Amino acid sequence: MSKIIRIGTRDSELALWQAKIVQSQLEHLGHKSELVPVKSTGDLVLDKPLYELGITGVFTRTLDIAMLNNDIDIAVHSLKDVPTLLPKGIVQAAVIKRGNVKDTLVFKDNEEFLGSKDAVIATGSLRRRAQWLNRFPTHTITEIRGNVNSRLQKLEDSDWNGAIFAAAGIGRIGVRPEEAINLDWMVPAPAQGAIMITALEEDEETIAICAELNDKETEICTTIEREFLNKLEGGCSAPIGALAVIKDEEITFTGVLLSPDGTKRIDVSRVKKLGEHNDIAQYCADFVIERGGKRLMDKIKNSDRKTNVYSTKALTEDQRLLFHQKVVSESTDVVKINLNRIHPRFLKNEIQNVIITSQNTVESLTTNYSAIELQFKNIYCVGRRTKRLVENRIGKVTHTEKNAKKLAEYLVEFMEGSAVTYFCSDIRLDALPTILAENNIEVTEIEAYQTKYDGVKVTDTVEAVMFYSPSTVESFTQKNNKDLIAFCIGETTANEAKKHFKDVRVAKVPTVESVIELVNEHYI
């Protein structure tokens, strides 16, 4: 292959380890490659909504988008994190020889607590929680989130008795403590311990190269496990375990479905000769369903889940599908916009310098007038999305900055002339016109739209709130004074949020999708 294969990976230590394994195997076969750590969804350049493409995986969607945008050639995933249905246009190109499939208990001091009535075990997995409570019903399970290293540190700093990890994860990056035992009785997650490579369906050359890395035994076993999950899960999250093993030309399959509290458990096992195994997943899923699995799945699917994240902007269906399964979101527009009629006298002559700081301004201008009627020589904008909208509907943008303060500083230094027309809201930040006025630039403000605060009182179960502008913070805090986690789209919004909340976090890029990603990082 003449080109360098771009290997997409998340930027966690474990993900990078897995990607480097794939890279070394490719290079051993004589193929050049480079790692491309992908941190954020960024601006999505897609022809179809995410939900139409089937992009729903919490851990995989960033790489799916990067691949569909042709930013990477292949992506490397922990196969257990990959949705059973891949997005349109993306295929499984290979699975690497499987590592340790077991779950591992990392404990403090010693294992004597296993025989005790009271103990505290940490896990963020519904499957591990259910199986532990099924075996130790008097123990307490506590939530734990974060990457492998941060979870190990949380265990060290806590008074918990132990925490459960994937053996492959702590083993691969070399952080398995001596105080750890494999849980041979716990049925692992489908495809646990396996590494998957995906590629674009149309990229036949790359797929052919990846096929050289494929481990057939791992492929057969993980395919059965994932088919069992797909046929049983029915689109909802449930504590499901599955493991297929090949030995002496036979496949032994073990599956389990539990209630979240571990009080109900349905087991299934099946042994078939290799080559006669194609019906294992269907048979075992039907077996579980017929023995109460359907009622159990329906109960889980319809369980009374409480809202824990509130968005101050109404989210689209494809945006809501991006949330982690632990997130129960509610969203409404806490800021309502009324477009003003802009009098023709303001536009009768060409305006040399115009400032537009929001998409709402663009909507107001183009609702009142056609692009031909909007005679602006220089247009200055805040935000990439506002710039794109201006250039699509009005005309070329002279310069853009990421916030109003930076734009004001730019105009003071580089703007032609000594006057600007600022199309704004009745509620706006004072930084821009103040900086300009202090530097002897005449500012004519034209109210393009009105902003109405329409916040709602959220329930006590809400733990976090998503903000997209300073005005959404102001609207929300008029009716809510609870100290929540504030997930913010940018620094300007975050600065306003810091006046009301102690825990304020800022998205990597100023998009709704990036704010959702920030929320998911907290709940993973």
CA 296, CA 453: separation in Å to the nearest integer?
A: 44
> Which is nearest to 465 in space by CA: 490, 495, 497?
497
CATH number of 416's domain: 3.40.50.10090
3-state SS, 177-198, equals CCCEEECCCCCCCCCCCCEEEE
Helix or strand (DSSP H, E) at 322: none
* Whole-Å CA distances, 25 to 15, 214, 499: 16, 11, 52
Tell me, what's the pLDDT at 39?
67
Q: What are phi and psi of 516, to 5 degrees?
A: -60, -40
Position with higher pLDDT, 42 vs 70? 70
Amino acid in position 134: N
Banded model confidence at residue 69, pLDDT cuts 50, 70, 90: confident
Q: Please list the residues that pair with 258 across neighbouring strands.
A: 265
- 59 plus 117 within the same structural domain: no
With a cut of 50, say whether residue 64 has pLDDT above it.
yes
- 132 plus 3 within the same structural domain: no
- 157 plus 167 within the same structural domain: yes
Position with higher pLDDT, 300 vs 94? 94
CATH number of 174's domain: 3.40.190.10
| pLDDT (mean) for 338-347 | 88
With a cut of 80, say whether residue 127 has pLDDT above it.
yes
Residue 300 · residue 455 · CB < 8 Å: no
Above pLDDT 70, what percent of the chain?
A: 94
CATH number of 283's domain: 3.30.160.40
CA 433, CA 437: separation in Å to the nearest integer?
A: 6
Tell me, what's the pLDDT at 56?
44
Given 429, 453, 477, the domain boundary residue is: 453
Read off the pLDDT of residues 163-206 as tens digits, 9 standing for 90 and up: 999 999 999 999 999 999 999 999 999 999 999 999 999 999 99
Tell me, what's the pLDDT at 267?
97
- 470 plus 416 within the same structural domain: no
| Number of domains forming the structure of the chain | 5
Contacts of 344 (CB under 8 A, 6+ apart): none
Read off the pLDDT of residues 245-280 as tens digits, 9 standing for 90 and up: 999 999 999 999 999 899 999 999 999 999 999 999
With a cut of 80, say whether residue 75 has pLDDT above it.
yes
Read off the pLDDT of residues 438-487 as tens digits, 9 standing for 90 and up: 999 999 999 999 988 888 899 999 999 999 988 899 999 999 988 999 99
Tell me, what's the pLDDT at 431?
81
Amino acid in position 453: Y
On whether residue 267 sits in a domain, the answer given is: yes
Read off the pLDDT of residues 303-342 as tens digits, 9 standing for 90 and up: 667 889 999 999 887 888 888 878 889 999 998 888 999 9
- 403 plus 289 within the same structural domain: no
Tell me, what's the pLDDT at 236?
53
Given 453, 473, 503, the domain boundary residue is: 453
Catalytic residue among 43, 71, 73, 81: 81
With a cut of 60, say whether residue 53 has pLDDT above it.
no
Tell me, what's the pLDDT at 422?
95
- 241 plus 379 within the same structural domain: no
Tell me, what's the pLDDT at 348?
80
Tell me, what's the pLDDT at 11?
84
Active site residue 81: yes
| pLDDT (mean) for 94-116 | 92
Read off the pLDDT of residues 196-219 as tens digits, 9 standing for 90 and up: 999 999 999 999 999 999 999 999
CA 456, CA 470: separation in Å to the nearest integer?
A: 16
The number of residues making up the chain comes to: 524
With a cut of 50, say whether residue 48 has pLDDT above it.
no
Q: Which residue range is the domain that position 411 belongs to?
A: 336-453
Tell me, what's the pLDDT at 232?
87
Amino acid in position 329: S
- 202 plus 57 within the same structural domain: yes
Q: Please list the residues that pair with 486 across neighbouring strands.
A: 465, 504
Tell me, what's the pLDDT at 456?
86
> Which is nearest to 386 in space by CA: 368, 360, 407, 366?
360
Tell me, what's the pLDDT at 52?
41
Given 425, 453, 481, the domain boundary residue is: 453
With a cut of 70, say whether residue 40 has pLDDT above it.
no
Name the average pLDDT for the chain. 89
- 329 plus 298 within the same structural domain: no
With a cut of 80, say whether residue 54 has pLDDT above it.
no
Tell me, what's the pLDDT at 46?
40
Tell me, what's the pLDDT at 302?
63
On whether residue 187 sits in a domain, the answer given is: no
On whether residue 188 sits in a domain, the answer given is: no
With a cut of 90, say whether residue 85 has pLDDT above it.
no
pTM above 0.85, yes or no: no
Tell me, what's the pLDDT at 427?
76
- 294 plus 273 within the same structural domain: yes
- 58 plus 200 within the same structural domain: yes
